[in-house]
Amino acid sequence: MAKNGGRKFFLIVLILVMLGALAGGIYAAWYYTDGFTKFPWQKEDPENPGKDPGTITGNYYIELDGMKYGDGGVTGLSSGITYAVGADFGTDYTVTMTARAAAEDFGFTLGAEPYKWSNVVGDDFTAGFAITRAATGFTVEYGALDEIIAGAKGNTVTLEDGVSDTVADKFAMTVTAGNGYSITVTFSTAPESIILDPDHIIFGDGSGQEPEEPEEPEEPEEPEEPEEPEEPEVPAMSQDAQEFVSSIKELMTGILKTYSDLSDDELAVVTGDPDGIAMAQFRMLIEIGNERYPELSETDRQHPTVNAIKAILDYAESNRQDGLTRAEINTLFEMLNEI
């Protein structure tokens, strides 16, 4: 009986130990996989392309936009971004930024010394960033790539032409707890944001700079209309010139009206006789005009209206020898009407 009782006791203890070990294993798996959500063999999160949670141990992680990242994770980066920290980091943690190998090596000058980015891989660049810590997380801010290098190295920096100003692919971030445990994450170069507007889709590039608004195309300037040339100022006619123009115009209008009422046959008879009364009227008018025109001053003779009257007189004189036709009468009328 004693032996059987001892065996039963031993089996009970063994079963309890095994159950305790199983419970402990289940708890450890739950603890180190963040509630059975993150496993070491997990890679990129299909709902967050370009991101990788890495390996999360306990509550040692950083969190961004509801996604947690452990050691080896690939998260997002842009200036002003804020990460939450897991509870196991406590409040006594540090954040450091180190250079990592870029997709393409590039050159820059530090002061007067030439460098390649590959020369500084692994160097501490924390001083080039502004990192603000709080109890539950921290914010990372930074400027352009040359400003980050200058801030960390304490000298002026000039990047070689054509270097991408993207920051995300050139640095890694390490968060270290007060007990020395640390996780290191890198950053995705996939777009961090998509900004939609009715006309454009703009992807952020992880450089920390706000995406620039596309410039509105400039409207072509309307060609200036050519300025109309100013007409030369016409000097005023003297009293003598005004009387000359008025008298000749009045006499000529009266004569032309008289003959415009005649038929073509009558006009041919009346104006066809060089010595007839019709031609005598024209001759008298032309003589008056030719007599008074030279008496005008040189300035008056240059006046456009005076010149127009003189042209009428010259036209009438050149055509009266053979008698004025209907067409010539009409031409004289037109010349008068233009004055």
Q: Tell me the whole-structure pTM to 2 decimals.
A: 0.46
At residue 210, does pLDDT exceed 60? Answer: no
C-alpha span between 285 and 288 (Å, rounded): 5
pLDDT digits (tens, 9 = 90+) for 35-70: 555 554 444 444 455 678 999 999 999 999 889 999
Counting every residue written for the chain, the total comes to: 339
pLDDT value for 153:
92
CB 323, CB 268: distance < 8 Å? yes
> What are the residue boundaries of the structural domains of the chain, listed by start?
40-203, 239-337
At residue 32, does pLDDT exceed 90? Answer: no
Confidence band of 223 (pLDDT split at 50, 70, 90): confident
Confidence band of 198 (pLDDT split at 50, 70, 90): very low
Confidence band of 252 (pLDDT split at 50, 70, 90): confident
At residue 256, does pLDDT exceed 60? Answer: yes
Averaged pLDDT, 271-290:
71
Averaged pLDDT, 210-239:
69
pLDDT value for 207:
46
Which are the contacts of 286, defined by CB distance < 8 A and separation ≥ 6?
313, 316, 317, 320
C-alpha span between 204 and 315 (Å, rounded): 85
Higher pLDDT, 77 or 7: 77
Which token pair is 168? 């995300």
Q: Which of 55-59, 165-169, 188-192, 246-250 has the lowest mean pLDDT?
A: 188-192
